Structure 1
Amino acid sequence: MTSIVAVTACPSGVAHTYMAAEAIESAAKAKGWDCTVETQGSIGIENELTESAIKSADIVILTKDIDIKNSERFEGKTIVRIGVSDAVKRSAAVMDKIDAHLAKVTA
């Protein structure tokens, strides 16, 4: 099973952070994938990713609108950087691209 971890954050750290997290999680689950999302919002880091979740992840999705705290945790992983608005509006398309990438890598 494909496993994805993601970290979402937006400049204001409020609504879009959580909307992006929900959209990514829903789109991944629609593909039957395991997905865990950490949010870095105005109240700090929530649902912090565990070391084991990161280690077992096939793909890491990071929003790129502001710096992600502790991004060194993802060194050596395949990272997809997307804007928060793309995460909210185009998560299904992002998952399709990830699916195509993974199909090439495992072919």
Structure 2
Amino acid sequence: MKIVGVAACTVGIAHTYIAQEKLENAAKKAGHEMAVETQGTIGVENELTPEQIAAADIVILAVDVKISGRERFDGKRIIQVPTEVAVKSPSKLIEKAVEVVEQSV
């Protein structure tokens, strides 16, 4: 399964990058491909390409603030959670994403 996501916390430093790392590791461990864009105090990093978004089965938004470019995900299945969820329970979040995709097939 292909997953894309955005991580953005209120300060845009620690939780943003921790959420990114934990989600990518949990997805890889579960056998999925995942790319996570970060939006923080230094701007957008690892910006998702239109091709990555188009190929994604689901989008995970681990965000505590309004993100830029959300309209890029219009028409995609989206799970939105606070960054804390991605940091504390990344594997459960990936499992939930798989469930959502499987239910809608």
TM-score normalised by the shorter chain: which range applies? over 0.9
Task: State the partner residue of 1:84.
Answer: 83
Alignment of 1:1-107 (within 5 A): 2-106=1-105
Q: RMSD of the alignment, in Å?
A: 0.9
Cα distance, 1:95 vs. partner? 1.0
Q: CA deviation at 1:96?
A: 1.2
How many angstroms apart in 2 are the aligned matches of 1:101 and 1:44? 30
TM value normalised by structure 1: 0.94
| Amino-acid identity (%) | 46
Q: CA deviation at 1:101?
A: 2.2
* Partners of 1:62 and 1:68 within 8 A in 2: no
Q: Which runs of 5+ in 2 are unaligned?
A: none
Cα distance in 1 between the residues matched to 2:101 and 2:71: 23
CA displacement, residues 32-69 of structure 1 (integer Å, 9 cap, x when unaligned) = 11100100011000010000000000000112310011
For these two proteins, the number of residue pairs brought into alignment is 105
Deviation at 1:104, TM superposition (A): 2.2
Give how far 1:4 is off: 0.3
For the residue of structure 2 that corresponds to 1:98, the secondary structure is: helix
SS of the residue 2:104 aligns to? helix
